[in-house]
Amino acid sequence: MAKRGGGGYGNIMQQAQRMQGQIKRLQDDLAEAEFEGSAGGGLVKVIADGRQKVRRIEITPEAINPDDLDELSDLLLAAINMAVGTSQEHSQAEMKKITGGIHLPGLY
């Protein structure tokens, strides 16, 4: 007679391993993904990856006014926040697909 009751645990472990693999693939994909934020009608653009790391900042010459560097700072902040915010939203949505909406601390 075969033992019963161990199958549930094994199934949970298989699901956890499958989820772990999916999360690893997602993290790899997010490292390569790019999200753009722009401000000032495109005067400043910021590109961030899916892990919310800024990769590139593009500033057009028209955005630079030596007499008003505060404006350039404001444009940079707005573009950075937009790129990082879009990246976070995307990452969370993709993680939710994997976890079924269960929040797993430290993953996102």
- How far, in Å, CA of 65 to CA of 75, rounded? 12
- How far, in Å, CA of 108 to CA of 87, rounded? 11
pLDDT given for residue 7 in this prediction: 63
Indicate the average pLDDT of the chain.
88
User: For domain 6-99, which architecture applies?
Assistant: 2-Layer Sandwich (3.30)
Q: For residues 84-100, give the mean pLDDT.
A: 91
- How far, in Å, CA of 5 to CA of 105, rounded? 29
Select the more confidently predicted residue: 86 or 97: 86
Select the more confidently predicted residue: 27 or 3: 27
Domain residue ranges in the chain: 6-99
